Homo-oligomer: A and B are copies of this chain.
Amino acid sequence: MQNPTAAMLVIGDEILSGRTRDANMYYLAGQLTEAGIDLKEVRVVSDDAPAIVAAVKALSGAFDTVFTSGGIGPTHDDITADCIAAAFDDHIDVRADARALLQAHYDRNGQELNDARLRMARIPDTAMLIDNPVSIAPGFTVQNVHVMAGVPRVFEAMVASVLPTLTGGAPLLSQTLRIDRGEGDIAGPLGALAADFDDLSIGSYPFQKDGKYGANIVIRGQDGARIDAAMTRLKADFPE
């Protein structure tokens, strides 16, 4: 059976300018693999409305589930919520449920719910809120798109709120064998193995360390016994 598919859209000039190294993509990829959801594509776009709207439409149409990261804070460059509304022809304004969450939070902390903070209560009409136990301002879900914050701690908390609501597939199992030979020596037998085990995904990830070549061979699939069988043959092909 085919696992559900997913895509991720990272919204953020800070990744594209090289200022920040991605963390959320790496985190989400690991979580989805465990949940049996196949992450098929990631796009990173800048804080540019037409680019965000086009990517949301394309990914939402092509995959079962889409996760976005970034651009839902209180500052002028936070335009994700309005772009999601535009992508789905949805109406957007400050929503009473989100406003109540923020009002209670800032009242507790003795802070003012000013115009900027109120921007974080702008939620499309048809959206369901995503719980944010870290900093309260909610994410939201419109159709198959889950809109989450870019700050890694908040992103991770929102992923934890969303994942249990999704139907996963069989978790992707994997085994890895490190072979200390060049890929050119490995490729022949490995190609034959991949052809004979075409229900599995067999990848070769070369490395170079201290001037020596090697590769990590990763065998992935949903059937542990098949992976065992392929791994046994791989080890016989390349005895230590």
Contact = CB atoms under 8 A, between A and B. Distances in A.
Interface of A: 13-22, 25-33, 38-47, 51, 73-77, 111, 114-117, 119-120, 134-135, 151, 153-154, 172, 174, 182-188, 190-191, 194-195, 201-208, 213, 215, 218, 220
Contact of A45 (B41, B74, B111): B41
A204 B151 contact: no
Interface centre among A19, A33, A151, A153 (most CB of B within 10 A): A19
Given A17-B220, A40-B51, A73-B183, 11 more contacts: A13-B220, A15-B42, A17-B174, A40-B46, A73-B187, A75-B186, A114-B188, A116-B183, A116-B184, A116-B188, A134-B208
Given A76-B190, A220-B17, A43 B43 contact: yes
Contacts of A21: 22, 26
A73 B204 contact: yes
A114 B187 CA distance: 10
A190 B211 CA distance: 50
A202 B14 CA distance: 11
A117 B184 contact: yes
Contact of A194 (B14, B29, B76): B76
Given A182-B111, A188-B114, A208-B151, A42 B16 contact: yes
A25 B26 contact: no
Contact of A16 (B39, B111, B194, B206): B39
18 contacts: A13-B220, A16-B39, A17-B29, A18-B28, A18-B31, A19-B174, A41-B43, A41-B45, A41-B46, A41-B51, A42-B42, A47-B203, A74-B184, A75-B187, A75-B215, A76-B195, A111-B182, A117-B184
